[in-house]
Amino acid sequence: MLDILYIEDNSDEADIFRRLMGLMTPSPSYLILPSGSQAIDYLLQQGSYQGQSPRLPNLVLIDLKLPGHSGFEVIQQVRASSRTRYLPLVVYSSSENPKDMRRAYDLGANAYLIKPESYHQVSAMMQQAVDFWLKQSRSYVP
């Protein structure tokens, strides 16, 4: 089972995420995809993933500003599919714009996290997110 799908195009952010996941015990399994288009293909089993059965994650962390399809478009398409409708989708963005937050929630995001500035703050936030979404909450699987 895949614990986390992280959709992030910034390689520095992805490296920080990798390091933090490696420090956790137990270390969650994860996949990082660098574009909204790749994420949609992966989650909806289309494009290069057509005919495959990629593992659905227990949690999707998604940036909003992505190449190809934006994070908003990913959320919209994921929520429109019966296969992925109930996946936990958590926006992880540097945007503090209330319009972005409102739009993300309107499209079906489960939560909206603003990327902290310091490594220690990122570490604490990721630990809390993993504890909540992977250990404490239960996803609905039809």
| Residues 5-64: tens digit of each pLDDT | 999 999 999 999 999 999 998 999 999 999 999 999 999 999 999 988 878 999 999 999
CATH of 6-117, one of 3.40.50.1100, 3.40.50.2300, 3.40.630.30, 2.60.40.2140: 3.40.50.2300
Query: Model pTM?
Result: 0.93
Arithmetic mean of pLDDT over the chain: 93
Domains in the chain: boundaries:
6-117
Strand order in 2-7's β-sheet?
A: 30-33, 2-7, 57-62, 89-93, 111-114
**Long-range pairs for 17-25 at CB < 8 Å and ≥24 separation?**
17/126, 20/122, 20/123, 20/126, 20/127, 21/126, 23/123, 24/127, 24/130
The closest of 2, 20, 5 to 127, measured between CA atoms, is 20
The predicted structure's pLDDT at residue 52:
87
From residue 50, alpha-carbon distances to 31, 33, 103 in Å are 18, 16, 29
pLDDT band at 142 (very low <50, low <70, confident <90, very high): low
